[in-house]
Amino acid sequence: MIAQKILITGGCGFIGSNLIRRAAALGLPGHLTVLDNETMGSPADLPPNVAAYQKGDVRDLPTVLRMSEGCDAIIHLAGHTRVLESIDDPVSDFETNVRGTLNVLLAARDSRVPHVVLASTGGALFGAETAPIHEGMVPQPLSPYGASKLAMEGYANAFSSSYGFRTTALRFTNVYGPYSRRKGSAVAHFFRQILARQPITVYGDGSQVRDFVYVDDLCDGILQSLGASASGVYHLGSGHPTSVSSLLENMRAVVGPDWPFEVRYAPWRTGEVRRTFTTIEKAANAFGYRPAVTLETGLPRTWRWFLDQ
C-alpha cells in the first residue's frame, strides 16, 4: 500500500521529477509535496499532480520539519552526487549529504513519519571490490561522496533502531533517461556533447564498467519499496555490466549518421571506480524489483527527449 501523503526532497531533480510522473502514470493515490533548493532542477519540470511545492534546503531543519508534518512517508532524494566535486570540496558534500540527511531523520522522528526512503549509491561505496557488488560486502569508499552516503546509511539505521520508524536505503547505480539535462553522469553528459557537436572525452581507456539503469525502472523500485514492509539497504540497478566503450557503440547506433561524434581519451581520474555493477536479488525478493528496460530501448527514448529539448 503506497503512503497517502509523501514528501519528496529534491523532487525537482532528474529522479524526483520522473518519480512523480511515474506515480501518476501508474495511477497511484497520494498527496505529493516537494521540497527542493532548485540547484539541480526547476519547479517548471514538475508535473501537475504535485499538491504543494516549497523552495528550500534540507540543511535548514525548521523547513524540513514544517514540510514533514502529517506525512506518511518521506522520499529523500536531495543530495550532492558528484564524486570529483566531493574530492575538491568534502565539507560541502558532508553538509548536504550527512547533515541534510540527519535533518530529514530528525524531522521524521519529531513528526512521527513512519517510513523514510533514502537515495544512496552503490559503486562509490566499494572501491576496488570485485564486481558484482552486493549488500553483504563491507563498504570501503574511495571518495568523500561515497563516505557521505555511507554515513547517511548509518544514521538511517541508527534512527530506525533508536526511534522506531522504518528506513530503507536504496543504492542507485548509473541512472539515465528523460529530464536529465542537468545530470553529470555518462549518458546525459555524452548526449549533451553530441548535441553540441563537441568531442566526447573518456577518462581511461573505455574499459571501465558500469551498471546503467533506466529511470522508470528505478522509480518503480522506489515506489515498490515504499509500498512494502522492507527496511535496510537494497541495491537498485539493471544487474548487468556495460563498459563505457560498449555504451558509446550503442549511442552511436542510436544517434545515427546525422550526429557523428569523436571520442578522445584522457588519463584516469583520481577516485574513479573502474569496474562496478550490482546484484539485485535482495530487492527482487523483498519487493519485486525487476527492471525491464534495456539499453537498446532506453537509450533511444532518452535521445528523443534530448532532441525534443
Evaluate whether residue 57 is within a structural domain. Answer: yes
Q: What is the mean pLDDT of residues 48-66?
A: 93
More confident residue, 34 or 272: 34
Q: Which of 67-81, 132-146, 234-248 has the lowest mean pLDDT?
A: 132-146
| Placement of cell 532542477 in the chain | 41
Nearest to 66 by CA among 97, 33, 19, 40: 33
Distance of alpha carbon 160 from alpha carbon 151, whole angstroms: 14
Evaluate whether residue 276 is within a structural domain. Answer: no
CATH classification at residue 150: 3.40.50.720
Inform me whether the pLDDT recorded for 225 exceeds 60.
yes
Residue 123's domain comprises: 5-176+213-237
Inform me whether the pLDDT recorded for 271 exceeds 70.
no
Residue 273 CB neighbours (<10 A):
23
Evaluate whether residue 285 is within a structural domain. Answer: no
Q: Which of 22-36, 239-253, 294-308 has the lowest mean pLDDT?
A: 22-36
Evaluate whether residue 253 is within a structural domain. Answer: no
Cell of 150: 555511507
Q: Domain tally for the chain? A: 1
Distance of alpha carbon 6 from alpha carbon 297, whole angstroms: 31
Q: What is the mean pLDDT of residues 83-102?
A: 94
Give per-residue pLDDT as tens, 175-189: 999 999 888 889 999
Inform me whether the pLDDT recorded for 92 exceeds 90.
yes
Evaluate whether residue 201 is within a structural domain. Answer: no
Residue 155 identity:
Y
Evaluate whether residue 247 is within a structural domain. Answer: no
The predicted structure's pLDDT at residue 152: 97
The predicted structure's pLDDT at residue 51: 83
Evaluate whether residue 250 is within a structural domain. Answer: no
Cell of 65: 520539519
75 pairs with which residues across the strands? Answer: 8, 117
Q: What is the mean pLDDT of residues 235-245?
A: 96
Evaluate whether residue 284 is within a structural domain. Answer: no
Q: What is the mean pLDDT of residues 41-64?
A: 91
Cell of 181: 539535462
